[in-house]
Structure 1
């Protein structure tokens, strides 16, 4: 994985994912995010591949940007605006983030090999926005 910073779109996989979001018809963009969250949640109990976790974190950032206290996604994210996203995505996003930070997460292992504290803090901030805390 080519990673250059801790942001949700600061890696090759998430930057590529932004194109998938842009290419989806506007009315299907929420489902693109829902699918990303479900793919992670469905691995619960299994080892979570880093690419799935990265895409779920990028999706969570897009969703959090529409929440109170959320930060707009500006770099390497989708170029086309997202329609208002359904609130029922939030619990699914929180569950996906919890797994991305869990003991069976390849992405967490990769970040722990370097200075991953800032990365963890950024993911926990997203989680807080989505959980409403």
Structure 2
């Protein structure tokens, strides 16, 4: 696992995926992000770590456009502009849930090292992607 930190873009797989996203035409970028999320959410057997790393990066891009979301990493995340991804919010949540469900290789790999820090980052993404209760939405008045 070519990983250097616990963030969603801090591994070779996510970096390569972001490079491919940057090289894609602007019209294709949402589809690439959707495909990474669907591929993960639809996996019924063992979820490969590389597939999961792409899904975590994709979910982070969706979360970055949500209220309270952190911007994508300026060095390791995509450099090219992205379309509105907020319509992928539910799919991103489903994908993150699948990354954390057994059988999934990525949490097992993280359990051998800084798993608690990585888990907190995934939890943060999950919480950002959760719909806000009506009482907590911004008021215009």
Give the TM-score of the pair, scaled to structure 2: 0.89
How far is 1:91 from its partner? 0.9
Give the TM-score of the pair, scaled to structure 1: 0.94
Whole-Å Cα distance in 2 between the matches of residues 121 and 56 of structure 1? 16
User: 1:1-133 residue pairs with structure 2 within 5 A?
Assistant: 1-44=1-44, 46-73=45-72, 74-87=74-87, 89-133=88-132
How far is 1:113 from its partner? 1.0
How far is 1:86 from its partner? 4.3
Preserved contact between residue 46 and residue 103 of structure 2 (Cα < 8 Å): yes
Whole-Å Cα distance in 2 between the matches of residues 95 and 26 of structure 1? 25
How far is 1:115 from its partner? 2.4
Preserved contact between residue 9 and residue 75 of structure 1 (Cα < 8 Å): no
**Higher radius of gyration, 1 or 2:** 2
Structure 1 runs of 4+ with >6 Å offset: none
How far is 1:121 from its partner? 0.7
Q: Give the number of aligned pairs.
A: 131
Note the aligned Cα RMSD (angstroms): 1.1
Q: Which runs of 5+ in 1 are unaligned?
A: none
